[in-house]
A and B are shown apart, each in its own frame.
Chain A
């Protein structure tokens, strides 16, 4: 019996699973909240999402072996948020992806003025909040979290090749929206 026990894989890591879990998850809590906050656009809902996601993460922690904890947690946060959005904010998820923003972008008047517009945080925040969720999330993951295309593909479940065009559309739309605001204010 003793021999068999000795041949079994080391189990001690399971015993301090909660602390292993804390070590893996807590460093990425800001990233989790940042993504949830930008997806739900509400403080309280974002907190709910993160808590729910941490619980889900804890339950499936057995299958997690310590690689890329951040992308793993963000994937769970994103799925939790999308389930919630599907139930509570379904209009946030429906968008038309087919318009050609590359074309539209060359119609942005006065690029120099637009550069100044970027410095208006309030306008930038609003424009970003108003983007459809699938554009908002790739910008958050790329620009605020610094994730690579591969990691963004892992988190969002879209093909790696689509990440670049999704980002292109997102940036194009964001610029257009800022330009529109500029026009209206004139």
Chain B
């Protein structure tokens, strides 16, 4: 084997990917050629440096939590949609759960506030919309298509904002069920992140409030007699920027 042949095989040799015969031939060549041996040594040194040089980037814990939690609610949903026997089992289980809860509520003062419940509901709706390919009922980036679609499906007319120029394109709208009533779900995007906005009429007046739950960021507020909840895996700063823009475009 000459130097040129060895140089072609040297990476395979370093990586332990050569067959035994070629392996031996390369080693044979190193014994007689200090130049190729130097290249080999520097390859090996480079490998050691790459492997010990703290170049490995591990997943941030927040990302791990987010990925992990995004499959938990889906698990409940998926199993509910399983075989008929399973559905019976699920029904039985939820009955059992209801009775346990009733019993618990009867014995203990309620520990879960209405807010906590809403946060959980909104989060579950958000996750469900991502997991089951049912992000939108009407897919359109045109608010003049999305807004009329809700007519006759809801007892109120949701205002739909166009934020494409600000980098939050509208994806569409969806009917959802939160807080014991049918609500409007509006879907926007920021890069790869989905933002769900839920709104329904309410008399309450709440200051704009950023929250976090299961690795998601949420913002809730009231405006023009509507309660709004925005939720996304987007970072908190950008979500609040989005909410600000939405508030500015919504008639007061």
Contacts and interface: CB of A to CB of B under 8 A. Distances in A.
The yes or no verdict on A and B being binding partners is yes
Interface of A: 11, 14-19, 21-22, 25-26, 29-30, 32-34, 37-38, 43-44, 46-52, 54-55, 58-59, 84, 102, 105-106, 111, 114-115, 118-119, 121, 124-125, 128, 139, 142-144, 148-149, 164-165, 167-168, 171, 174-175
Nearest to B191: A48
Interface of B: 7-12, 15, 17, 35, 38-39, 41-43, 45-51, 53-60, 63-64, 66-68, 70-72, 74-75, 78-79, 82-83, 86, 130-131, 133, 191-193, 233, 235
Give the interface SS of chain A, mostly helix, strand, loop or mixed.
helix
B42 A46 contact: no
A18 B50 contact: no
Contacts of B7: 102
A17 B233 CA distance: 23
Given A44-B235, A48-B193, A168 B17 contact: no
B75 A16 contact: yes
A26 B192 contact: no
Nearest to B74: A18
Given A22-B71, A50-B67, A58-B71, A115 B42 contact: yes
A144 B55 contact: yes
Given A37-B57, A55-B130, 16 more contacts: A18-B72, A18-B78, A26-B67, A26-B68, A29-B64, A50-B67, A51-B66, A58-B74, A102-B7, A119-B49, A124-B55, A143-B50, A144-B51, A149-B12, A167-B11, A175-B46
12 contacts: A26-B68, A30-B58, A37-B57, A46-B57, A114-B42, A118-B45, A124-B53, A139-B50, A143-B51, A144-B55, A164-B9, A168-B8
A18 B39 contact: no
B57 A38 contact: yes
B46 A121 contact: no
Residue of B55, B82, B130, B193 with most chain A CB atoms under a 10 A cut-off: B55
Contact of B75 (A18, A34, A139): A18
B47 A143 contact: yes
A139 B50 CA distance: 9
Contacts of A167: 11, 15
Contact of A32 (B59, B71, B133): B59
Task: List 5 A-B pairs, minimum CB-CB distance, nearest first.
Answer: A118-B49, A33-B59, A18-B75, A37-B57, A143-B50
B11 A168 contact: yes
Contact of A171 (B43, B64, B83): B43
Contacts of B11: 164-165, 167-168, 171
A16 B79 contact: yes
B46 A174 contact: yes
Contacts of A165: 8, 11
A17 B75 CA distance: 8
A51 B190 CA distance: 14
A5 to B, nearest CB: 9
A18 B67 CA distance: 12
